Structures are given as C-alpha cells and as structure tokens.
C-alpha cells in the first residue's frame, strides 16, 4: 500500500487531490523527523494518521497545513504550491496540538476573531452558531483561560472550522474530550463526510480511526509504513494503540 501512495508522485490525477505531500523530509536538530513521505488525500476523503510517539504524525500534519516548512519536498494544496495563495489558505482549517486560543478573550471573542481573519461574512452569527453546535453556548462569555482542557479542545476544533474549510486537519482531536464531546465530534465527522469535506486527523485510537476514516496511514520513524483502507486493521497500529 505504500507503493500506492508513492504512485501519486507521478500520477496524472495528483492535481485532483486536495493535498499532496511529495517527498517530504523534515529534519529537526539534525534528527530526521520525516523521510521522503509521499501522501495524497483525495476530495471528500477522511484519512487517519497513526503511529507511535515520535513517528512524525503531527509534523506531517503541520506540513500539510503549511504551518511547518519541509527541508525537502513539496506540499501542494488543490494543485497549487502550499502557502502562496490566500484563497487556498481560506480553504484549510487546522486544530493543532496546542489550542491556538487566546486565554484572555472569551469563547465568543476567540471565534469572532478567527472568523474575521478568515473573512467570514457574518462573524458574530457564525461564532454563535458554532458555540451552540459545540454545546458551549452557556460559556459564550467565559474567558478561555477559565475553561477546562476538554472545553478548550472543543472550542479549538470550532475555531478551526469557523470558515467552513474544504480541508480540515486535526491533531489528536479526541484527546481531552469527554463522552459528550466525543459524540459531538463524531457527529461533526459524519457531517463533514456528508458535505464532502476532506479530513486528515492524527489519532492514537484505532477504534476511533476505523470508524471515521477511509484510510489509515501508519507512520513509523518518519516513514509511511502502511496505508490501509479501514476495512482491515493494520497489525502495526494494533501494537501501537
């Protein structure tokens, strides 16, 4: 299956992908974090990035989002070089490992700020709508610094999709979420699938990933070691879960 991913390097359909990582190598402090990673994510597809700690999942996700620049290789969004086009940036949403929220602003203010930055037409309405959907309406005017980790996680995911991006990138989105939060997020995944959104998320939980993703991409030591459709469970992931 790794070869299948490699085929995208020269595939004539590569430009039809939402995001392509073409031979990505990332070196941090002289240690290779990603080595020649090749991955294409097609429109409407949900891909789970899995693997043990230090495998390079989060780095790959940040590279896909344009938040980290690879030392070698290219990232392409919608067929264009990543990071260049403001229009392409509007089509991508990232909820990273850290919340990216301002603790001194309220939940509502954080969402309104993000919505304004993305050029959402009615930022106030959109922010309120998202807070209601995330079950955070009673906490609208609460400072983010006063929220629990789980509530911040929900808010961070809401912030990442405030502009209804076509490509949604989430780093361990289920971490810190309680049962209610997990239900909400699973429902969101289903909504995104129905709406044809492309989702790429990092997870350690094989069950979550199997239920939500079309493909499980397993990394180890900076390399993609297995790409499996969710019909079967990769042996490697079972060991690492």
Q: Which residues contact other proteins (rule: CB under 8 A)?
A: 62, 65-69, 86-87, 89-90, 92, 94, 96-105, 109, 113-114, 116-119, 143, 159
Per the CB < 8 A criterion, the answer to whether 174 and 205 are in contact is yes
8 A C-beta contact, residue 201 and residue 41: no
Sign of CA dihedral 226, 26, 149, 95: negative
For other proteins, give the closer residue by CB, 87 or 235: 87
Nearest residue to 136 (alpha-carbon basis) of 185, 169, 94: 185
Nearer to other proteins, 51 or 93 (CB): 93
Q: C-beta of 113: minimal distance to other proteins in Å?
A: 5
Give the nearer residue to other proteins in terms of CB position, either 97 or 207: 97
User: Rounded to the nearest whole angstrom, what is the least distance from the CB of residue 160 to other proteins in the complex?
Assistant: 9
Residue ranges of alpha helices (H) inside 90-163 are: 107-117, 123-133, 149-160
Pick 67 or 225: Cβ nearer other proteins:
67
Contact 214, 46 (CB under 8 A): yes
* Angle in degrees, CA 102, 106, 108, rounded to 5: 110
Closest distance of CB 81 from other proteins, Å: 15
Cβ proximity to other proteins, 102 vs 214, nearer residue: 102
Considering the complex, what minimum distance in angstroms separates the CB of residue 241 from other proteins?
26
Min separation Cβ 104 and other proteins, Å: 4
32-35 long-range contacts (CB < 8 A, ≥24 apart) are 32/222, 33/59, 33/222, 34/59, 34/60, 34/63, 34/70, 34/222, 34/223, 35/221, 35/222, 35/223
Kindly tell me which of 42 and 90 has the beta carbon lying closer to other proteins: 90
Smallest distance, Å, CB 234 to other proteins?
30
């Amino acid at each position: 299956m790794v070869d299948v991913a490699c085929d995208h390097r020269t595939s004539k359909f590569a430009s039809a992908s939402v995001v392509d990582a073409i031979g990505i190598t990332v070196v941090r402090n002289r240690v290779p974090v990603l080595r020649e990673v090749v991955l294409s994510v097609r429109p409407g597809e949900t891909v789970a990035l899995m693997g043990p700690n230090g495998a390079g999942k989060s780095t790959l996700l940040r590279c896909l989002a344009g938040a980290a620049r690879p030392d070698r290789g290219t990232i392409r969004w919608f067929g264009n070089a990543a990071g260049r086009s403001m229009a392409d940036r509007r089509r991508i949403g990232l909820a990273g490992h850290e919340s990216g929220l301002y603790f001194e602003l309220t939940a509502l203010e954080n969402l309104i700020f993000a919505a304004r930055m993305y050029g959402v037409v009615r930022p106030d309405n959109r922010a309120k709508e998202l807070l209601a959907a995330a079950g955070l309406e009673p906490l609208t005017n609460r400072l983010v610094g006063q929220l629990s980790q789980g509530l911040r996680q929900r808010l961070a995911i809401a912030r990442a999709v405030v502009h209804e991006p076509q490509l949604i990138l989430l780093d361990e989105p289920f971490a810190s979420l309680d049962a209610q939060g997990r239900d909400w997020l699973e429902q969101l995944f289903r909504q995104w699938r129905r709406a044809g959104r492309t989702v790429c998320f990092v997870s350690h939980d094989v069950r979550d990933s199997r239920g939500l993703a079309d493909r499980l991409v397993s990394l180890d030591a900076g390399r993609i070691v297995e790409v499996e459709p969710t019909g079967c469970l990769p042996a490697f992931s079972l060991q690492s879960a």
